[in-house]
Amino acid sequence: MLRSAQKQGRVRLKNGTATIRCGTMTSPGFLRCKVWAEYDGERYEGLATAAYEPTRIRPTVTEPAVFDTFWQSSLQELAAIPISSKMELLPERCTAEVNVYQVCLDNIQGSKMYGILTVPAKAGKYPVMLKVPGAGIRSYAGDVWSARNGIITFEIGIHGIPVTLPETLYEDLGKGALSGYTSIGLNNRQTFYYRRVYLGCSRAVDFLTSLEAFDGKNVAVSGGSQGGALTVVTAALNPKVSVVVSYYPALCDLTGFLHDRAGGWPHYFRDNWAADISGARTTLPYFDVVNFARRLTQPVMFSWGYNDEVCPPTSFYSAYNVVTAPKCVNIVEETGHWTYPEQWHKTDRFIRDHLKAIEQ
């Protein structure tokens, strides 16, 4: 369960090593040992996490009785708005093999979705992939490598602003108007920030599948952390998605902290800081990845480690364990909120095995 410290203390090394007895667990969850040491004026930290029957972890979040009705209504609202895509060629980013565009799409409430589209220059029909972002506010370069290898790719931002602006502007927004964006509108499911984001991700899939060069059947979505959450959500909302890859997804089992265990990023109920926001407990189940994971039908690969302190493994196992679609997980136990290149290679093969590009 990754609870607060059960045991604390100091230990003296003997010949450079020490043994720490951390006890055991009697219910499914994770037990973590963290150590700190000071040497030559510097502080060092290490941790290790043990899993106890993680596939038996069950979510704490409830499923609203009108969950499907809410999202069907929201998708109908989106469908009433034309995509109205605007594509701006970025010559300085193009290569002999790949054309690169900044794209703007219309979204709900008069908002926009921006991203970088990379398209093979050679005429033909290609699979498409949506890449959804981790947390933060930044510019995006686009995935030229995937396009060069035969996959049309759309890498999006979620904040309704162009993704080719100077980095100083994004830094200013992060400290100003978009500071704490994860809790904007949290008191109401209609105004919550992620409602527009979730719908915008589905819109991005609709845009990709409207392209003349789309092969008509193969659609991937991939991302990590916040993007790991958005991959699951997008696939659940949009049946055009045919394969999913999610790294250490955020926004899973957000109510875990209310049940004496770790909840998912952004840790709304840790230290009860969101408990005082009127409507938060009612709003969040509509956006919890667990409730979208139940609705996946596409093949999905997850990848994560046990030492993740941003998205605790208890939270993403809560989502993984309710998936009934074909699923697999690539676990690298020692990793935290990051991945090895080998993980990327394995997930890339998974995507390519499911995206059957038509020979040119």
Q: Is the pTM of this model over 0.85?
A: yes
User: Residue 274 has what pLDDT?
Assistant: 63
Q: Determine, yes or no, domain membership for 96.
A: yes
User: Residue 227 has what pLDDT?
Assistant: 98
Distances (CA, A) of 36 to 13, 17, 107, 262, 330: 12, 14, 48, 22, 29
Q: Determine, yes or no, domain membership for 338.
A: yes
User: Residue 275 has what pLDDT?
Assistant: 60
The total number of structural domains that make up the chain: 1
* Token pair recorded at residue 247: 């790294």
User: Residue 277 has what pLDDT?
Assistant: 67
Q: Determine, yes or no, domain membership for 26.
A: no
Q: Determine, yes or no, domain membership for 45.
A: no
User: Residue 36 has what pLDDT?
Assistant: 86
Taking only the tens of pLDDT, the chain with its 360 residues reads 444 456 677 877 778 787 777 778 888 999 988 888 888 889 988 888 999 999 999 999 999 999 999 999 999 999 999 999 999 999 999 999 999 999 999 999 999 999 999 999 999 999 999 999 999 999 999 999 999 999 999 999 999 999 999 999 999 999 999 999 999 999 999 999 999 999 999 999 999 999 999 999 999 999 999 999 999 999 999 999 999 999 999 999 999 998 989 999 999 988 766 666 668 899 999 999 999 999 999 999 999 999 999 999 999 999 999 999 999 999 999 999 999 999 999 999 999 999 875 443
Residues spanned by the domain of 188: 61-354
* CA–CA distance, 219 with 241 (Å, rounded to integer): 5
User: Residue 360 has what pLDDT?
Assistant: 38
Q: Determine, yes or no, domain membership for 3.
A: no
Distances (CA, A) of 279 to 65, 185, 191, 286: 16, 10, 11, 12
Q: Determine, yes or no, domain membership for 256.
A: yes
* CA–CA distance, 118 with 129 (Å, rounded to integer): 10
Cβ atoms of 154 and 115 within 8 Å: the answer is yes
| CATH code, 250 | 3.40.50.1820
User: Residue 276 has what pLDDT?
Assistant: 60
Beta strands in 93-174 (DSSP E): 98-106, 112-120, 126-131, 152-156
Q: Determine, yes or no, domain membership for 170.
A: yes
The two counts, helices (H) then strands (E), for the chain are 9, 11
Q: 162 CB contacts (<8 Å, ≥6 apart)?
A: 102, 104, 114
* CA–CA distance, 116 with 145 (Å, rounded to integer): 13
Q: Determine, yes or no, domain membership for 123.
A: yes
Instruction: Please identify every residue annotated as catalytic.
Output: 225, 308, 337
Strand partners of residue 327: 300
